[in-house]
Amino acid sequence: MRCPYCNNEIEQGLLQGMRRVAWIKRQHKVSLLPKQGEVLLENNTFSDFLLQAHICKSCKKIVVDYSDKEIQEG
């Protein structure tokens, strides 16, 4: 898949979070201490979640796919 911003190849993974958010290559215990090749995103406003996501390490963008989630809109 290509990045919609810079057209470079992007890497498939997941966004996993509780009080901190991390892009990970595969799901693991929620310690959120980044492993090699993972990216930690600080943010204390999120609750527990796991979403399919692609990362572009060239332009530092993450594309999230939430099509398999039930979304409540206000």
Could you tell me if residue 70 is inside a domain?
Answer: no
Considering the domain boundaries, does residue 23 fall inside one? yes
In total, how many domains does the chain have? 1
| Inside any domain, residue 71 | no
Residue 6 lies in a domain: no
User: What's the pLDDT score for residue 31?
Assistant: 55
**Distance (Å, whole) CA 74 – CA 57:** 33
pTM above 0.85, yes or no: no
Per-residue tens of pLDDT for the chain, all 74 residues: 899 999 999 999 988 877 667 778 887 665 556 677 776 665 455 457 788 899 999 999 999 887 776 665 54
Q: Domain containing 37: what range?
A: 11-65
Q: Kindly report the CA angle at 61 between 52 and 22, in degrees rounded to 5?
A: 50
Question: Using CA atoms, how far apart are residues 2 and 70, in angstroms rounded to an integer?
Answer: 26
Question: DSSP secondary structure string, 13-35?
Answer: EEEEESSSEEEESS---TT--PP
| pLDDT score recorded for residue 37 | 77
Would you state the pLDDT for residue 71? 60
